[in-house]
Chain A
Amino acid sequence: EPEVTQTPSHQVTQMGQEVILRCVPISNHLYFYWYRQILGQKVEFLVSFYNNEISEKSEIFDDQFSVERPDGSNFTLKIRSTKLEDSAMYFCASSMTSGYVEQFFGPGTRLTVL
């Protein structure tokens, strides 16, 4: 069964450093998303992406964040200058064109900012 994959599974970085989280969505999906989940809290929407541009973003997704689909398979989230409060689990998700309600989530990348 096709699935969303994410790398790395765990990323440790120093405050102020840039990180890139990588995702490979399901191959025939065209809508892509990033969510985050701070430990013990609810899952929060960051951004949705379609046709090589951002479709929707939350207040969390400020100028420190960017997304990119650099080739036909990868979808990345970049945090330019990490803060302690960016420590969280980051989930990538994808959905088919015709139904963005059913989103398929990857296993997540745990980001720890020291």
Chain B
Amino acid sequence: GESVGLHLPTLSVQEGDNSIINCAYSNSASDYFIWYKQESGKGPQFIIDIRSNMDKRQGQRVTVLLNKTVKHLSLQIAATQPGDSAVYFCAEILAGNAGKSTFGDGTTLTVKP
């Protein structure tokens, strides 16, 4: 069945370093993959998405990489800041499923000053 998972439940980095958060997915039919950020007491916040026919997409300070061969998704955050401390989730959407997002387990990113 569908499942999206993250490799590590926690990640601690030094301020200014780059962060890499990983996700493994199992449904090769998914059309979109999305990264969300969830800060304490708030709902998930959309960061960036990537279509399944792409292997890289860049945003502001973030890059998402998609490796369909090994069904792996990663989020790279450049020059990590204390405000980046949050739980990060990957999610997948199947086109035609009316926006139904299947979330993976979260990775808690802690940025040390």
Contact = CB atoms under 8 A, between A and B. Distances in A.
Interface residues of B, number: 23
Contacts, number: 64
A105 B45 contact: yes
Given A101-B32, A101-B49, A44 B43 contact: no
Interface string A7-36: 000000000000000000000000101010
A45 B49 CA distance: 18
A104 B37 CA distance: 12
Q: Give the dominant DSSP class at A's interface.
A: strand
A25 to B, nearest CB: 12
Interface of A: 4, 31, 33, 35, 41-45, 48, 50, 55-56, 58, 91, 93, 95, 100-108
Interface of B: 32, 34, 36, 41-46, 49, 89, 91, 93, 97-106
Given A103-B99, A105-B44, 8 more contacts: A35-B101, A42-B103, A42-B105, A42-B106, A45-B102, A48-B98, A101-B49, A103-B46
